[in-house]
Amino acid sequence: MSPDSPVLQAVAAVLAVAAAVALGWAWDRGNCRSRLLYRPALLALCLISAAATGLVWLNRQVDTYPTWASLVGAKAAAAEAVPVHDRPGGGRILSLTVAGAASGLTMPMYVYLPADAEQHGERRYPVIEALHGYPGSPLQWLNKLGAAEILDREIASGRMAPTVVLFPYQTPRPSLDTECTNLVGGPQTETFLTVDVPAFAKTRLPVRTGPGTWGLIGYSAGGYCATSLLLRHPGQYAAAASLSGYSGPGIAVGDGSEHTTYDNAWRLRHLPVPAVALYLASARTDRAAMRGTTAIADLVRAPMSVTTAFVRTGGHNAGTWRAMEPPAFAWLSQHLARPTTP
């Protein structure tokens, strides 16, 4: 039973209800001395069980702690959380481990291979790196956002070309928010995502290389990441889609660069813009994300292009991002190269 198991959530909820019932039943029983002992104990049990139920529910929404090892502070290790499997008529989900020579980070990564990858062993596919939010993990893409099913549907309909999609971790510890940056004196997550992950994919997976073959997508903090990595590495990525993203990282990098080169709005104001394409989506009722989205959209200038998409209602949550996914993936596919057979 994993930390994000529905069984664990049910057990925690039953314990919370049982503790509340026990408190009501026993409140006036016994003498004054015994009440001084069991009342505080039962109150504490009620508070702890209620808090545990809420935390398990929250973890099921964001999949920050998919394993007990991650809960106790071990490095991200999610290979056992979603088994490698084939879905009838759909793409395959692989779980691999990337040992980053450039960053020094070793972290798991899920991979979506399109359904025809096995039938066409020589074919090479465009690539999208999908970046999760914080708190969160790649499992939210697969479990809550249904990314594999959406990719199957978009590819089968012809709205999207067959594409390899990578779901890497962005932090070696769930409690550490890196915002896909190279932290001073800390994890070099930007290097892991932009150097180590591509190097690994190019040697282990049927992916294309060269200009116009790689893109990015992310939600929430991952939306900021997608825009940031696109602006910082236009030689690696041709296009990016940001779902409810922000204009800045919201953390201290360690050298003040969160206010300059890691701030997407600052880069667009002060540095030459690359010839890349950006897709920005947000719910109009998500005020923080709307501010970031409109700020970036207003600053884009040639040779960079921007496409915006807004949903009328919805908040900063998985339901909104899932609704935004299909057009975002389809848009990305239109801005990336097609699969090719050498």
Q: Which two tokens stand for residue 48?
A: 């702890």
Q: How far apart are CA 341 and CA 120, in angstroms?
A: 8
Model-level pTM? 0.80
Region 218-224: mean pLDDT is 97
What percent of the chain shows pLDDT beyond 70?
Answer: 77
User: What pLDDT score does 18 carry?
Assistant: 73
SS (H, E, C) 145-190: CCHHHHHHHHHHHCCCCCCEEEEECCCCCCCCCCCCCECCCCCEHH
> Across all residues in the chain, what is the average pLDDT?
86
pLDDT tens sequence across 46-85:
677 676 666 554 555 444 555 544 444 444 444 444 444 5
Angle at 222 between CA 221 and CA 228, to 5 degrees: 95
User: What pLDDT score does 68 carry?
Assistant: 45
* pLDDT tier for residue 17 given thresholds of 50, 70 and 90: confident
Least confident interval from 32-36, 151-155, 248-252: 32-36
* pLDDT tier for residue 258 given thresholds of 50, 70 and 90: very high
User: What pLDDT score does 90 carry?
Assistant: 87
Q: Which two tokens stand for residue 60?
A: 């099921």
User: What pLDDT score does 81 carry?
Assistant: 42
Least confident interval from 47-61, 106-120, 147-161: 47-61
Task: Kindly tell me the sign of the dihedral angle through the C-alpha atoms of 94, 95, 96, 102.
Answer: positive
* pLDDT tier for residue 119 given thresholds of 50, 70 and 90: confident
The closest of 336, 41, 19 to 207, measured between CA atoms, is: 336
Q: How far apart are CA 117 and CA 163, in angstroms?
A: 9
pLDDT tens sequence across 168-203:
999 888 889 999 999 999 999 999 999 999 999 999
User: What pLDDT score does 79 carry?
Assistant: 42
The closest of 76, 67, 252 to 174, measured between CA atoms, is: 76
User: What pLDDT score does 86 carry?
Assistant: 55
User: What pLDDT score does 342 carry?
Assistant: 77
DSSP string over 289-315: HHHHHHHHHHH--TT-EEEEEEESS--
User: What pLDDT score does 211 carry?
Assistant: 92
Classify burial at 41, counting beta carbons within 10 Å of its beta carbon; exposed 0-12, middle 13-18, buried 19 or more: exposed
pLDDT tens sequence across 87-106:
667 899 999 999 999 999 99
User: What pLDDT score does 56 carry?
Assistant: 56
> Is residue 340 within 8 Å of residue 208, measured between CB atoms?
yes
> Is residue 213 within 8 Å of residue 285, measured between CB atoms?
no
Q: How far apart are CA 305 and CA 127, in angstroms?
A: 20
Given a cut of 80, whether residue 226 has pLDDT beyond it is: yes
The closest of 114, 115, 112 to 94, measured between CA atoms, is: 112
Comparing 279 with 66, the larger pLDDT belongs to 279
Region 260-279: mean pLDDT is 97
* pLDDT tier for residue 38 given thresholds of 50, 70 and 90: low
What type of residue sits at position 28?
D
* pLDDT tier for residue 33 given thresholds of 50, 70 and 90: low
